Structure 1
C-alpha cells in the first residue's frame, strides 16, 4: 500500500464522531496541554532569570532569539527526518532528553554554579530538540484525526492553550515574588516527562506506512528538504501564508523579546507580582476567543478570508498596545491583538495541514515554521535587542510591532485575495 493509501485508511477509520470521544486524540491533546503549561512557565521565568542575573535588555531579548534560532538552523532537516522516522518515537525521545536539559538549570542553581551562558545554552538546546518534536507533531495530527477534523482539532488545542496563556503567566508572576525563577524551570522539566508518557500511550499510528528504499544519506535528506521547500514555494496559498506569518512574527518577537524590560521601564509594574503576571496573561484571553472563533469562521468563510480579515486588526492592535504607557490600556490592547494575531496563526497552520500531502507534512510545515517563525522571530528579537540598546525600550517596541502593517499590506496584495474569492475545497473543507 502506498503512503497516501495507508494514510487514507487510517483517516477513514477515525474521521467520524466527536473528538472528545476519541481516546487517542484525548491523550494527544492532554500531552500538548501538559507540555504547553511547562513551556509557558519557562517563557516567563527564563527572561526574568536572565534579566535578574544581568539587568540587560539586550541579553534578555536574546532568550527570545534562542527560542526561534534552532528552527532557522535545523528546521528543514528536522522536518525531512521526521517524515522518514516514526513520529511517535521522535516526540517521546525529544521530550525525555528535554527533561535533562531544562532540569539542569534548577540543579545548577541549587548547587550555586548557575551562569548566564548555562541558561542560554539550555534554552537553545531545548528548542533544538523541540524542532524535531514539532516536525513530527505537524505530521502526526492530520494522520491521527483526519484532514476534515484538523481545524476543529487545532481549535481544541489552541482553545485550552489560550486558557493556559491566561492562567499560567499570572500564576508565575505571583510565584516570582517568592520563588527564584530558576526553580520554576523544574516544573517545566516535569511536564516534558508527562508529555512523553502520554504520547507513548497513544495506540493509533501517527505515521502512515513508510516505504523508503533509499538509505539515509546526506544527499537523500537534502533531496527530501528540496521537495518540501519546492511544494511550499510553488503553492500560492502556502507561500503567501508563510510570508504573512514571517512578517507578523517579526513584530511579535520584538514585543516578546522586550516585554520584561517594557513592563519594568515603560509600564512601571516591575518584573513580578500580580500586575506583571496579569499583563503577561491577558494575551491568553485573546487566544481563548480566537480559538472559539476559528471553527464558526472557517465553516462560513475560507481560511484565506479569515486571514485577510484578521491581519489588519492584528497590525493596528499591536501598534496601539506598544504606544501606551498605562498597564490597564496595555492589557486591553493585548486582548484585541491576541485575538487577531492568533487567528492568523491558527488559520495558517490549519491551511498548511489541509493542502499538504501526508508524506510531505513534516518537511513542509517545518519549512513554513522556519520561515514564518524561525526567520521572522529571530530577526524581530535580534532587532528588538539592538534597537533597545541604541534608542530606548519604548521606541524599539513601537518600531518592531509596526512591521505588522507590512504583513497586512502584503496579505491583501498576495494571491490570498484570489484564493479567498474562489476557495478550493480540500476533503470537504474550504481552503
Structure 2
C-alpha cells in the first residue's frame, strides 16, 4: 500500500511533467510566431534535445553521488528560475525571441535529463519491488495525463495571454514540484559510504553499458526499435506547430486542441491496459503499437487534408505510451540490477539520440523540400526495422511468454 511519501512524490511528478508539457506546447508556437520558419522550428527542437542526450551520463553520476532527491529538486528549481527569467527577458528584448527561447530550452533540456535519471533512482526507494511495474504504469499515466492537461491549460490561457506568457505558468508548476520533493527529507541519499566513496568516471559507466548492450541481442533490438520510433515522433513533434499553423492554415488554439486530442488518446490506452493484458501479451502490445506508429507516419506523409494529418499525428504520438511500457518492462529482464542505472543511462542516450537528429533533418531539409517528405523516409525505415529487429525478440522476449513462465524467469 502506498504511503504519503509516495503520493507526495507522484504529485510532484504531476507538476513537473505538466511544466515540461507547457514548455513543449509554448516554445514551438513562440518560435514559429516570431520567425514564421519551419527551419527555425526544427533548429529549436535540435537545440532542445542535444543537452538532454549529452548530459545523461553526467546525470547518472550525479544521482549516485548527491542522491536522487537533491538532484530532482535542483533540476526543477533551475527550470522554474529559467522560465521566470526568460519570460522577463522576452518582455524586454522581443527581437531576441529565438535566442532567448533556445537558451531556455537548452537549460531545461539539461535539467530534464537530471530529473529523469533522478526519478529512475528514486522510485525503487519508495516502491516495493513487487509494485514497480504498477508504479511505472502509473508514472506513464501521469505523463499521458499531463500531455492532455498541458495543452488544455495552454490553449485555455491563450484566450487571455500570448504564448510567451505561458512561461510564467511553467515557472510556477516547476516551483511547486520542487517544493514537493524537497519535503521528502532523508530520501535519495547515496546508499552507503562505500558507494559514495566509489568515484567512477563517466567513461567507466559507459564502458559497463556498452559491454552489457553488446552482449545482449534483445537489448540491441529494443534500442533499434525505440530509435526508429523516436525519429518519427521527433519529426512529428518538431513540425507539428509549423504544419498545423503554416501548411494547413489552422490557428494556435487548433494546435492546442490537436495536442489535447493526442494526450487523450494516450491516456485512454492506459485505461484500456488491464483489458488488453487479459487478451494479449505485453510483447504483442509492443508489436501492434510499433506498427500503429509507423502507419501514423505514413498518413502524415501523404495527408492532403488536415483531418487525415490529425489521424496520423494521433496514431504516431498517442501510441508511444503503450510502446514505452513494452520497452521498459522487457529491458528490465535483461539488465543486471547492479548495473541498471549505468546501462539505462546509455540505453536512454541511444534511444533519444534520434530526437535531435530529427530536429536537424527538419532544419536542413525543411528549407528546400516539403517537410512531409521526411515522413515518407522514416515510414520506409520503420517498414525495414519491423521484420529485422522484431525477429530476435520472437523467441527470447520475456513479455511474450505466459505470465507464470515470465515470473519464473
TM-score, length of structure 1 as denominator length: 0.84
**CA distance in structure 2 between the partners assigned to 1:426 and 1:79 by the alignment:** 33
Task: Using the TM superposition, give the Cα deviation of residue 91 of structure 1 relative to its aligned residue in structure 2, in angstroms.
Answer: 0.6
Contact 1:165 1:282 (C-alpha < 8 Å) held by counterparts: no
Find 2:391's aligned residue among 413, 424, 428. Answer: 413
Contact 2:335 2:343 (C-alpha < 8 Å) held by counterparts: yes
Q: Which residue of 1 aligns with 2:84?
A: 103
Contact 1:83 1:360 (C-alpha < 8 Å) held by counterparts: no
Q: Which residue of 1 aligns with 2:344?
A: 365
**CA distance in structure 2 between the partners assigned to 1:228 and 1:425 by the alignment:** 29
Instruction: Summarize the Cα distance change of 1:426–1:58 in structure 2 as closer, same or farther, 3 Å threshold.
Output: farther
**CA distance in structure 2 between the partners assigned to 1:214 and 1:203 by the alignment:** 19
Indicate whether 1:158 and 2:140 are aligned: yes
Instruction: Summarize the Cα distance change of 1:279–1:311 in structure 2 as closer, same or farther, 3 Å threshold.
Output: same
**CA distance in structure 1 between the partners assigned to 2:72 and 2:271 by the alignment:** 27
Within 5 Å, which residues of 2 pair with 1:99-138?
99-112=80-93, 114-138=96-120
Q: Which residue of 2 aligns with 1:172?
A: 154
Q: Which residue of 2 aligns with 1:4?
A: none
**CA distance in structure 2 between the partners assigned to 1:136 and 1:426 by the alignment:** 32
Indicate whether 1:289 and 2:271 are aligned: no
Aligned with 1:209: secondary structure? coil
Find 1:390's aligned residue among 336, 355, 368. Answer: 368
Structure 2: tracts of 5 or more residues without a match: none
Indicate whether 1:47 and 2:28 are aligned: yes
Instruction: Summarize the Cα distance change of 1:352–1:413 in structure 2 as closer, same or farther, 3 Å threshold.
Output: closer
**CA distance in structure 2 between the partners assigned to 1:329 and 1:127 by the alignment:** 32
Contact 2:394 2:400 (C-alpha < 8 Å) held by counterparts: no
Task: Using the TM superposition, give the Cα deviation of residue 226 of structure 1 relative to its aligned residue in structure 2, in angstroms.
Answer: 1.7
**CA distance in structure 2 between the partners assigned to 1:47 and 1:171 by the alignment:** 16
**CA distance in structure 1 between the partners assigned to 2:265 and 2:87 by the alignment:** 32
TM-score, length of structure 2 as denominator length: 0.89
**CA distance in structure 1 between the partners assigned to 2:379 and 2:18 by the alignment:** 26
Please list the CA deviations of residues 103-145 of structure 1 after superposition, one character each: whole Å capped at 9, or x if unmatched.
2210102223644212101111111122112111112223321
Contact 1:306 1:343 (C-alpha < 8 Å) held by counterparts: yes
**CA distance in structure 2 between the partners assigned to 1:357 and 1:297 by the alignment:** 29
Q: Which residue of 2 aligns with 1:143?
A: 125
Count residues with an aligned counterpart.
Answer: 408
Within 5 Å, which residues of 2 pair with 1:27-46?
27-46=8-27
Indicate whether 1:57 and 2:38 are aligned: yes
Find 1:193's aligned residue among 166, 169, 175. Answer: 175
Instruction: Summarize the Cα distance change of 1:172–1:68 in structure 2 as closer, same or farther, 3 Å threshold.
Output: same
RMSD of the alignment, in Å?
2.9
Contact 2:231 2:355 (C-alpha < 8 Å) held by counterparts: yes
Within 5 Å, which residues of 2 pair with 1:317-356?
317-353=296-332, 355-356=334-335
Contact 2:70 2:188 (C-alpha < 8 Å) held by counterparts: no
Q: Which residue of 1 aligns with 2:227?
A: 246
**CA distance in structure 1 between the partners assigned to 2:122 and 2:196 by the alignment:** 23
Instruction: Summarize the Cα distance change of 1:351–1:203 in structure 2 as closer, same or farther, 3 Å threshold.
Output: farther
Structure 1: tracts of 5 or more residues without a match: 1-16
Instruction: Summarize the Cα distance change of 1:153–1:116 in structure 2 as closer, same or farther, 3 Å threshold.
Output: same
Task: Using the TM superposition, give the Cα deviation of residue 209 of structure 1 relative to its aligned residue in structure 2, in angstroms.
Answer: 1.9
Q: Which residue of 1 aligns with 2:292?
A: 313
Q: Structure 1 residues 199-208 or 385-394, which shifts more?
A: 199-208
Contact 1:306 1:344 (C-alpha < 8 Å) held by counterparts: yes
Q: Structure 1 residues 295-304 or 172-181, which shifts more?
A: 295-304
**CA distance in structure 1 between the partners assigned to 2:226 and 2:258 by the alignment:** 24
**CA distance in structure 2 between the partners assigned to 1:400 and 1:267 by the alignment:** 21
Instruction: Summarize the Cα distance change of 1:427–1:50 in structure 2 as closer, same or farther, 3 Å threshold.
Output: farther
